[in-house]
A and B are shown apart, each in its own frame.
Chain A
Amino acid sequence: MTNTEPVIEIAGLDTRFGSHVIHENINLTIYKGEILALVGGSGSGKTTLLRQMLGLTRPARGSVRVLGAERYDGSHEQQRKLRIRSGVLFQQGALFSALTVFDNVALPLREMRTLCEETIRELVMLKLGMVGVEPQHARKMPAELSGGMIKRVALARALAQDPELLFLDEPTAGLDPALSEAFVDLIRSLREELALTVIMVTHDLDTLVALADRVAVLADRHIVALGPIPEIIICDHPFIQAFFGGVRGQNALRALQRS
């Protein structure tokens, strides 16, 4: 944690789908410059919580404040600025399949209607270079790209508007170990370079250990633990014990101790 300035404040949040309660009285504050990971079992509502921070799913009760503004009650203009200041990497990339790689990254910039086309070209090629996409791939369609490449292009698109906040939904899911390690390194270096605050949802223990400053564990409709990994693992909640106590968890934790 490098700063105590709150970037996202969630207070008293409830989520219900019909009669099914997902979250009950969730309180969570995310500070500027940190990487916070949301973990939890399948169906514990990690992705739902992420979507609520993004303004995609309105909670049944409670407030979500992002960068000091209400996510769900602000003016239209305020919402637009909020969206410009946050970038999202979706799990499957969510690249627009009808557009080339270049146009995918250029789209959010063109949509601003302030920059001229040459500046946009400059910026897009810069962002593609930043995430390690070779210039010859710029004219390709998303269908021609491999999974790792799609994630990189999607990350370039998420970074197109120089956001302060980066949301990652399962950033390394579906990548082979070498690729996920490269992707983790990429996110870490970009975070330092661009002074990003990163909120990620992940299942991958190695990613979690390598990136997260703090971890929020969602289970039984609440955040059952919140803090750096060494503080989390001493908690005796059954989910945490199962999550970190298994062979994979132990291996990942050993790696943490070594580093």
Chain B
Amino acid sequence: MSPDSSISNNTWHRLVTTEAGDPLLQLTGSFTLVSFSRSLPAITKQLAELAGQPGLHWDLTTLYQLDYAGAAVLWRAWGRQRPVHLLLRPEQERMFRRLEKSAPLPQKPGRIWFLPISLLGEQFLRLLDHLAGMIALAGQVVLDGLYLLGHPHRIPFREISASLYRTGAQALGITAVVGFLIGIVLSYLTSEQLHLFGADIYIVNILGMSVIRELGPMLAAILVAGRSGSAMTAQLGVMRVTEELDALTVMGIPHSMRLVLPKIIGLGIALPLIVLWTSAVALLGGLVAAELQIGLSIHYALTVLPDTVPIANLWLGLGKGMVCGMTIALIACHFGLRIKPNTESLGAGTTSSVVTSITAVILIDAIFAVAFSHIGIRVVG
């Protein structure tokens, strides 16, 4: 666009007098979207003032360029009707005829006064709906599992192993890093305190108990929920958007058997293994830190570990891992299958999936803590 055609504040109109003595406003330059700059509010104001003058003649034939944006600005300045005296070129005439015919935007449906109540009710119903959906999906997967027990040649081994690799093997790095660091932090904090009381060797009890029973499983489950849960939801969601899910259905391949079941079994196997790995690395981190901090020998710590931490704690941790893994996969698949074919639903679905599965993981941990409170804890004395 050449610089002389853009609108500056004064050059866009010329006020002259016609032969008959009437005031005539000639618009000049370009009235186009590209030529409008931030000076548009000023022009709009001036136009509105000019439009208020009775008997003013408007001449648009002197314009170099007019587009619909320019026409709409004029149209609004005139109060959505033509001024009495208006000169137009034929193509401008056509533009204003279009503006005259254009329909107004329909009103938004009105808001209802009990909106907060109905929103709350909707939320509650949605929660129930999700719960029912998840139970139905879990039931379907159990039925599929029973069917596969009778038809072992149809078990989707390839998908299960792919799921194991993606959710298990590929998660080893991140869980190790986080586990190791948490172990160090825990060890640094407690070893100082224990040292005060001369109870240095109890660091093994504290580290072993907390890491193997609680921290290892929880860390692993929360990391996996964020990492693999979101991936599963997004994968199923995109398959919905691209109609791949429908393609599977028409081929007679049920989603639950080919997509959901392998993920649940895969994560059910992978997460206990990751729990074991995370606990081991966290314990190592803690013991290394203890050695550096208070000079506790790692060899000694490993020797007393089996006596201080009953083996039941390890089984509890692994059991938690398995239950959490299957729950995470179930939740992720449930939200994935519910995604509607649009981008916003994909984002919202993935978010809800991760939030729900992390909440579920902590809920499961609490249930385990209450249910198994008498197992694996040795009361001294």
Contacts and interface: CB of A to CB of B under 8 A. Distances in A.
Interface of A: 81, 84-85, 96-98, 102, 109, 112-116, 118-119, 121-127, 129-130, 135-136, 138-139, 141-143, 161-162, 193
Contacts of B98: 126, 129-130
Contact of A126 (B102, B340, B342): B102
B73 A161 contact: no
Contact of A119 (B1, B73, B342): B73
Interface stretch (B53-61, B64-72, B153-161, B351-359): B64-72
Given A123-B68, A123-B72, A143 B101 contact: no
B210 interface: no
Given A123-B69, A135-B106, A141 B342 contact: yes
Contacts, number: 86
Contacts of B103: 125, 129, 135
A135 B33 contact: no
B164 to A, nearest CB: 33
Nearest to B104: A125
Contact of A84 (B34, B94, B106, B343): B34
Contacts of B34: 81, 84-85
A138 B104 CA distance: 10
A121 B68 CA distance: 12
B101 A122 contact: no
A162 B30 CA distance: 13
Contacts of B99: 122, 126
A81 B1 contact: yes
B76 A118 contact: yes
Contacts of B342: 97-98, 141-143
Given A115-B73, A135-B106, A136-B106, A98 B33 contact: no
Contacts of B104: 125, 135
B240 to A, nearest CB: 12
B343 A98 contact: yes
Nearest to A112: B33
Contact of A138 (B44, B72, B94, B105): B105
A141 B342 CA distance: 10
A135 B104 CA distance: 7
A138 B37 contact: no
B307 interface: no
Nearest to B343: A97
Nearest to B340: A143
A217 to B, nearest CB: 32
Nearest to B342: A97
A96 B343 CA distance: 8
Contacts of B94: 193
Given A81-B1, A126-B68, A162-B68, A115 B36 contact: yes
Contacts of B73: 115, 119
A114 B344 CA distance: 28
22 contacts: A84-B34, A85-B34, A97-B344, A98-B343, A98-B344, A102-B105, A109-B33, A109-B69, A112-B36, A115-B36, A115-B40, A122-B72, A123-B68, A125-B104, A126-B98, A126-B99, A126-B102, A135-B104, A141-B342, A142-B342, A162-B67, A162-B68
B233 to A, nearest CB: 18
A129 B101 contact: yes
B343 A161 contact: no
B38 interface: yes
A123 to B, nearest CB: 5
A22 to B, nearest CB: 25
A255 to B, nearest CB: 29
Nearest to A135: B103
Nearest to B35: A114
A129 B69 CA distance: 15
B341 interface: yes
A102 B106 CA distance: 10
Given A98-B344, A138-B105, A142-B342, A126 B72 contact: yes
Interface string B278-310: 000000000000000000000000000000000
B102 A122 contact: yes
B75 interface: yes
Contacts of B91: 193
Contacts of A121: 105
A162 B76 contact: no
B106 A127 contact: no
Contacts of B36: 112, 114-115
Contacts of B1: 81
B5 interface: no
Nearest to A67: B1
Contact of A114 (B40, B67, B75): B40
A257 to B, nearest CB: 32
Contacts of B40: 114-116
A97 B342 CA distance: 5
B32 interface: yes
B374 interface: no
A159 to B, nearest CB: 9
Contacts of A114: 33, 36-38, 40
